[in-house]
Amino acid sequence: MAIDPIQVLQAAQRPIARTPERGARPETTLLIAGATGALGNELLRRLAGSHRYAQAKVLAREPMQDGLRGVQTVLVPPDDDPRSWPSVQADVALVSFDPPRLYHDRERALWAPAPQQLPQIAAWLRSCGVRTLAVVQPHAQGRLPEALKRGLASLDEQSVAALGFERLILVRSAQKPAQGVRGSLPQRVAEWMLSIARFMVPASEQPVRAAVVAQFVDVALRLAPHGTHVAAPELVWRAAQGNAEACEAAVREWLLGGA
C-alpha cells in the first residue's frame, strides 16, 4: 500500500512521546539566572535538554530571539534590586555566577547576577513560587575554612536558607589562586620565591570542567530530598573523577547515603 507523503510529514512533526523518568515532574518549569560563561552555558544546555522540565526560562536584560527549543527568555528590568521585578511563574530555579564572555553576543544580552545579589534574587524567586533552588557559587581556593566548606559560609547564604525553599542546593566549585598584581622588584622576587606554593595546591582544590559541574547539579536536582544541602569543593572534585555513573553514585552517596 502506498504511503501518503502528507501523512509522513505530519508524523514527523508530531512531538516524540517520552517515558517520564522516575521521580521526574514533566510539568515543572525551570528558571535560570546567569546562563552565561562556560558553566552557565553548560547548565542551560544540560538542564534544558534533559526533558525533565516542561519549559526552561532564562533571564535576559536585552531583547533576544529564542534559539533553543523549549527555552524562553524573560526580559527583566535594569534594576539592581530583583525584588522589585514582576513575578514569573517557576517551580525550580538555578542561579549561577559565571560572568559572561564578552565575545559571545548572546551572553551579553543575558542577565548575570552578582554574588552580592544572592539574597535579593533568591527572595524574588521565592515570591515567584520557586520551591527548589540550586546555587552554583564558586569560591576561591583557600578562602573558606574547612568547616564552612560544608555549611553556610555567609549571612547571605543563611538568609537564603531562611526563605523557606523546600530544597536548597549550594554547590561550591574550587578555583585556582588568582594571580597577584605585579609591583616593585622586591615584591616580584618575593612572589617568585613563594610561587612554589602554587604547585602545592591539593588536587581536590583544583577546578573541574564546566560540563562535570553541570552534570553534578543535574543529578543533585533530581535526587535531593527536602532540606538544605551544601556540596563541598572536594565532593565535586571526587564526583568528577569518573564517568557519568560514578558522578551519580557520588551525588547519591552525598544526598541519600547510598540509598
Band the pLDDT of 174: cuts 50, 70, 90. Answer: low
1 within a domain of the structure (yes/no): no
Residue range 13-67, pLDDT digits in tens: 444 444 444 444 556 899 999 988 888 889 999 998 888 898 899 999 888 766 6
60 lies in some domain: yes
Find residue 139's DSSP bridge partners.
174
pLDDT of residue 81: 83
What's the Cα-to-Cα distance from 85 to each of 55, 164, 244, rounded to whole Å? 20, 20, 38
pLDDT tens per residue, range 200-257: 555 555 567 888 889 999 999 999 999 999 998 888 888 888 888 989 999 999 998 8
Identify the CATH number of the domain in which residue 121 sits: 3.40.50.720
Distances (CA, A) of 254 to 20, 150, 216: 25, 11, 11
Q: Is residue 144 part of a domain?
A: yes
Query: Cell match 527549543: residue?
Result: 69
Task: Indicate whether 10 belongs to any domain.
Answer: no
pLDDT in the model for residue 200: 53
Half-sphere exposure of 120 toward its Cβ, with a 13 Å CA cutoff?
A: 12
Residue 146 lies in a domain: yes
**CB-CB contact of 216 with 230 (8 Å):** no
Q: Could you give the CA distance from residue 92 to residue 58 in angstroms, rounded to a whole number?
A: 12
Q: Which domain holds residue 98?
A: 24-256
The whole-model pTM stands at 0.74
Q: Rounded to the nearest 5°, which phi and psi values hold at 240?
A: -90, 0
3 found inside a domain: no
The pLDDT of residue 98: 84
Specify the number of domains making up the chain: 1
Cα distances (Å, whole numbers) of residue 42 to 20, 38, 215, 247: 23, 6, 9, 16
* Other CB atoms within 10 A of residue 15 CB: 5
The overall average pLDDT reported for the chain is 77
Residue closest to 32 by CA, chosen among 63, 57, 65, 66: 57
Interatomic CA distance for residues 135 and 138, integer angstroms = 9
Question: Does residue 120 register a pLDDT over 90?
Answer: yes
H-helix or E-strand spanning residue 92: strand 92-96
- In-domain check, residue 73: yes
At 208, is the secondary structure helix, strand, or coil?
coil
13 falls within a domain: no
